[in-house]
Amino acid sequence: MADKNIVIVTDCKDIALEQIKARLISLLPNDKINFFNLITKPFQINNGLFLSKLISEEVPHGKNTLFLAIVNPLKIKPKRIFGKLKNGTWFVGADTGIFSLLFKEFGIKEIYEGKNQKHYPFGGLHMHTVIAGNLLLETKEEELGNPIKESDILKKMPSQGEVLHIDNFGLIKIWARMKDFDFKEGDKIMIKSVNSNRIFEGIFSNRMMDQENNALIVYPGSSFLDKSKFDNIEEYRKSGLIEIGLVRNPNSAEELGINLGDIIEIKKIS
């Protein structure tokens, strides 16, 4: 049997995550499973949207790969959906928009609404995970759900400047690409947190670690780089998302008072 690659996108990081993995192992006892656990901050759909797209650049794709999202902060219960991307990779989750960047990148081949839409305690385990296991067992999609139109699902895109991820170093990754700005080494940069109305002054640098401790730096990040530009280092470096942080400080976001979902405006100071 071929290895199964299961990407779990969830804000469950204690025993609940182990339950999900154990259920999948019990459903697929004859397969070797490679788990990729993407732990979002609690209730953060757009953080999951970012993480799933980022890992999609590295995992194998095709019928033996599946993205399983178990993150749902919505007041109104969304429908359970599953389907296949045009590259053959499966997806399963609530209709929250969490896979929107995958849909944009790879396209949707088919999509279904799960037949059982009743409410269950920990539906992510008892419903979504079971659908995921059955898809990887090659159960016919029509046995698990009913086909729906792509226009019937929620799609969302991050807002310009939105904080999508804060890593374990406290570094801030925002939805803005380096190529959209004409920054040069050493330029003074205004950084404004729209949510708190706080304004900071930093500098632009192509390499953050060249700078002094605790200096506030705007720099080309490593997320969503265009691999087709790898041989042109200038173009490659500019193709990813912008990052912001304090040099060699593990608490950048906390010290700046910046949180997931905040909107950050940046511009060069004349």
Name the nearest CA neighbour of 174 among 220, 226, 241. 241
pLDDT in tens, 148-173: 999 999 999 999 999 999 999 999 99
Q: How confident is the model at residue 246 (pLDDT cuts 50, 70, 90)?
A: very high
pLDDT in tens, 29-87: 999 999 999 999 999 999 999 999 999 999 999 999 999 999 988 888 899 999 999 99
Average model confidence (pLDDT) across the chain: 95
Q: How far is CA 113 from the centre of its chain?
A: 22
Choice between 109 and 119, residue whose per-residue pLDDT is larger? 109
Choice between 145 and 119, residue whose per-residue pLDDT is larger? 145
- CA end-to-end distance (rounded Å), the chain: 61
Mean pLDDT along residues 246-262: 96
Residue 32 DSSP SS3: coil
Q: What angle do CA 105, 227, 156 make, to 5 degrees?
A: 25
Q: How confident is the model at residue 1 (pLDDT cuts 50, 70, 90)?
A: low
DSSP secondary structure letter of residue 94: E
Q: How confident is the model at residue 118 (pLDDT cuts 50, 70, 90)?
A: confident
pTM here is 0.94
- Do strands 188-193 and 172-177 pair parallel, antiparallel, or not at all (unpaired)? unpaired
Residue 157 and residue 179: Cα distance in Å, rounded? 19
Name the nearest CA neighbour of 258 among 201, 194, 213, 207. 194
In order of their start, the domains of the chain are: 4-152 (3.40.50.10790), 163-268 (2.40.30.90)
C-alpha atoms less than 13 angstroms from C-alpha of 7 in its C-beta half-sphere: 29
Provide the token pair at 14: 């204690």
The pLDDT value recorded for residue 148 is 98
The pLDDT value recorded for residue 260 is 96
> Are the beta carbons of 114 and 127 closer than 8 angstroms?
yes
Residue 17 and residue 85: Cα distance in Å, rounded? 25
pLDDT in tens, 87-103: 999 999 999 999 999 99
Residue 199 and residue 17: Cα distance in Å, rounded? 39
